[in-house]
Amino acid sequence: MTKRYLVVYAKNKGSNFSGHAPDVPGCVSAGDTLEEMNAMMREALEFHFEGMLEDGATIPEPTTMNVDLKGEDFDEVEYFIAQQLEVTVPAHKQTSESVRAA
């Protein structure tokens, strides 16, 4: 299944892009170009989701629709890009224990 998560990319002054998804704390990535950033962020989210499932955690739903930026957010950043990124979300894997409990 796929879902669309809001991702925020920052073009860092004199450096590359960094990115995060506000609905998925702790999942970040970086890339040299916007195209690479999209691919790296998608990969980071999908990998993060797999790890969450392995740990028994619930994958967060995409709920954030916009971000509020303040002047100080631009101290080290040339500009920001916010966009919806379509990501493959893995289905919950049933273990033998969860099947027995059902």
Q: What is the pTM of this model?
A: 0.85
Dist. CA 102–CA 40, nearest whole Å = 38
Across the range 3-23, mean pLDDT stands at: 97
> Per-domain residue ranges for the chain?
2-91
Number of separate helices (H) and strands (E) present in the chain: 2, 4
pLDDT digits (tens, 9 = 90+) for 31-56: 999 999 999 999 999 999 999 999 99
Across the range 71-90, mean pLDDT stands at: 95
What pLDDT is recorded for position 99? Answer: 42
The end-to-end CA distance of the chain, in Å, is 23
The CATH code of domain 2-91 reads 3.30.160.250
Residue 91: which pLDDT band, with cuts at 50, 70 and 90?
confident
Q: State whether residue 79 is helix, strand or coil.
A: strand
Q: State whether residue 91 is helix, strand or coil.
A: coil
